[in-house]
Amino acid sequence: MMIDRLAGNAALKDSVRLMLESRRLTHSVLLVGETGLGAGYAARCVAADYLYPAGGAPAEALLRGECCRAVGKAGDRSSGRVETGIVREAISVTGMGTGGRYLVSQVKAMRTEIFNTSLSAEGRAVLLYHVERMNEESANALLKVMEEPPEGVLFLLTADSLAGVLPTIRSRCVSFAVAPVSPEECAKWCIGQGVDKKQAQLYSQLFDGHIGTVLAAAQDDARREQVEKALTLAKAAAAQDSYAAAVLLAGYEKDKAAAAALLGDFRAVAAAGLRGCVGAPLTGDAARRALSLADAAIQRLGAQVNPKIVLSVLAAKLG
């Protein structure tokens, strides 16, 4: 079964396996786990096992996310449509509004589509990623179909935290927690996916077993470059070199989103140092201080403080 490919999470896999084998799977499942733990991957595993019990090419394609996609344009309530993917029996929905917010047009397009014939598989699966980003309007649109779903439709929702999901959605789902794995198990799994051994071991320590984050950092050039810059910034902090920190951070003064992303990785590096990660440039009190400064800077960026001011102050305090 595809769910067996999920690292760790034995209790989750056992529960899902039993429900799938008995065909008693509820029509709405919520998988909860912070970003990078693999809740989305787990959802695709469940969808693949539900739609294609025998596995095969369609199941593999679904695991890769090659399914239909509900899309829309912000501010245009009639713009929703479903783009056809390789796997027609599965539809994914990811917020496309500001900050990844769901658009009601996306949800309505998905809702219309799934009332069509279930095609060639066991039924249909709807994958809704990060449902904590739903506002009340898009949630109400989803509730209309979750309350009386078409025959054979399975809803698979993911969220970073259970508390962030609207109670009206949460109450209609069976919830499972996606737990982190050990850095050692994470590294082993990522090596099996083709990640360089040394890189897998370092990133697994830095990101504390968050498989999705490790894979993204290892397989995407831009993401990997960002992690390397976070490590460079940590080395500057360890050397109390405010000039080197200022030079590096100056490149992010006009891009608040990129600055926040870099500081998120810098924070992860500092946290890894507190855990005793061998590859982390910062340790002990220096790591604790850097972590506090990173949190404060990220908070100020979120509060719309001028990025240039935030980054300049951070560089000075790292010295």
Q: What is the pLDDT of residue 180?
A: 85
Section 63-79 average pLDDT: 92
Burial group, residue 222, by CB count within 10 angstroms (0-12, 13-18, 19+): exposed
What whole-number distance in Å separates Cα of residue 215 and Cα of residue 193?
9
CA atoms within 13 A on the CB side of 45: 20
pLDDT at 16: 87
Q: What confidence tens digit (pLDDT) does each residue in 25-56 have?
A: 678 999 999 888 889 999 999 999 999 999 99
> For position 140, what pLDDT does the model report?
92
Distances (CA, A) of 310 to 210, 228, 241, 286, 315: 28, 21, 17, 20, 9
Over the stretch 128-146, which tens digit does the pLDDT of each residue have? 999 999 999 999 999 989 8
* Alpha-carbon Rg for the chain in angstroms: 21
Q: What is the DSSP string of 13-51?
A: HHHHHHHHHHT---SEEEEE--TTS-HHHHHHHHHHHHH
By mean pLDDT, which of 111-125, 149-163, 257-271 is the weakest? 111-125
What are the pLDDT digits (tens) for 175-191?
999 988 999 999 999 99
Show Cβ contacts of residue 248 under 8 Å, excluding neighbours closer than 6 positions. 229, 232, 233, 236
Task: Evaluate if residue 169 carries a pLDDT over 70.
Answer: yes
Pick from 193, 240, 256, 182: nearest CA to 219: 193
211-219 and 183-192 helices cross at what angle (nearest 10)? 50
Average pLDDT over residues 227-256: 95
The pLDDT of residue 119: 57
Is 120 in contact with 89 (CB distance < 8 Å)? yes
pLDDT in tens, 267-297: 999 999 999 888 899 999 999 999 999 999 9
- For the whole model, what pTM was predicted? 0.81
Please say if the pLDDT value at position 20 is more than 90.
no
- Residue pair 104/111 in contact (Cβ under 8 Å)? The answer is no
Which residues face 30 on adjacent strands?
Answer: 157, 175
